[in-house]
Structure 1
Amino acid sequence: MFVLLMLVVMTLVSNDSSHIILTESIEFFRKRNWRTRIRYLLKITSSFSSSKCMAGRSYRPTVEEVNQWAQSLDKLLSHKYGKAAFQIFLKSEFCDENIEFWTACEEFRTMTSLGKLSSRARTIYEEFIQCDAPKEINLDYQTKDAIIQSLPLPSLTCFLSAQKKVFNLMENNSYPRFIHSELYKELCAVARGEGKYLKF
């Protein structure tokens, strides 16, 4: 299954609508049996590989890039392909809310429209932080309370403390599992040009 997930990364990482399709693909995995998953993935990878946006372009990472992902979580997340692979891994383990929150915080800190800051801060709070949020992350009371207090007049760094805590959580738990996962091993093999790992 990790080989198939890897193929989804390779075909979706550069597409503008990749986040939506990636989410739909993993949800499909969670509800279907093994053979159905394979047929579905082969259909997706085939259609995307033949699309105009993919024509003549390769999104396969280099050996150096894949090796760098094992050096630190920072290096993994700074690479578009690496981040997509990590997110797929987390989705397969039903624990992708942390990377989604981290990404939302990264985007929030780069916002240029101060007029939209308050509404976006509220959206992040409702999606990830408030009690029984749809993608609630694990934060201590003090951190949550500080965010609540900042919501009426949020700053670009109002989620920074929470983001750092979530990063540390991923760094100590999910990231080591990813580096030792079959998905990462397959990515290394593909980067080395060992096509035998792609045979079904």
Structure 2
Amino acid sequence: MPVKCCFHRSRAGEAMACSESVDKLLANKDGLAAFRTFLKSEFSEENVEFWLACEDFKRTRSSTKMAAKAQKIYSEFIQADAPKEINIDFHTKNDISQNISEPTLSCFDDAQRLIYSLMAKDSFPRFLRSEEYKDLVKKQKSRNQRRWLPFL
């Protein structure tokens, strides 16, 4: 999934822009931080960590680095009893396990799509009702007021 940036909006609009989609939330530094805090409170931060690791992996150009990063993602998120094991179906996990010895830039795409969908349909709507989101909106509004009221 491509990430669409919401930085072209004013600061006041950033928090509201992040409420429009998970893409915009993940592209916004403050939004991502608030979302991570929320996911930690729900004991599901491995989802966003896996998604971010996959995004970083897809930017890798060196085959040596690609193999090392793929193995790290696999051992951290995919393999049975991984420290941050993500909840994906057996078929997807099995496909990754069979191909991890010769990884490609798309080897985690199916798992990443599943986790993105889980975050978008499950975690994101709850996040928009959370204290973390309300704090994010307040923070953005406060920044906007300070920008236009320099004497405060």
Please, what TM-score do these two structures have when normalized by structure 1? Answer: 0.64
Q: How is 1:154-169 mapped onto 2 (pairs within 5 angstroms)?
A: 154-169=103-118
Contact residue 78 and residue 93 of structure 2 kept, 8 A: yes
Q: 2:105 and 2:77 mapped to 1: Cα distance?
A: 17
- Is 1:133 paired with 2:88? no
Q: How is 1:25-174 mapped onto 2 (pairs within 5 angstroms)?
A: 62-174=11-123
Which consecutive unaligned segments of at least 5 residues does structure 1 have?
Answer: 1-60, 196-200
Equivalence for 2:138: 189
Give 1:181's aligned amino acid: S
Please, what TM-score do these two structures have when normalized by structure 2? Answer: 0.83
Q: 2:66 and 2:138 mapped to 1: Cα distance?
A: 43
Equivalence for 2:5: none
Which consecutive unaligned segments of at least 5 residues does structure 2 have?
Answer: 1-9, 146-152
Q: Give 1:109 shift.
A: 0.4
Percent of aligned positions that are identical: 47
Instruction: Let me know the Cα RMSD of the aligned residues.
Output: 1.7
Q: 2:64 and 2:132 mapped to 1: Cα distance?
A: 41
**Where in structure 1 do 4 or more consecutive aligned residues deviate above 6 Å?**
none
Contact residue 37 and residue 132 of structure 2 kept, 8 A: no
Give 1:180's aligned amino acid: R
Give 2:103's aligned amino acid: P
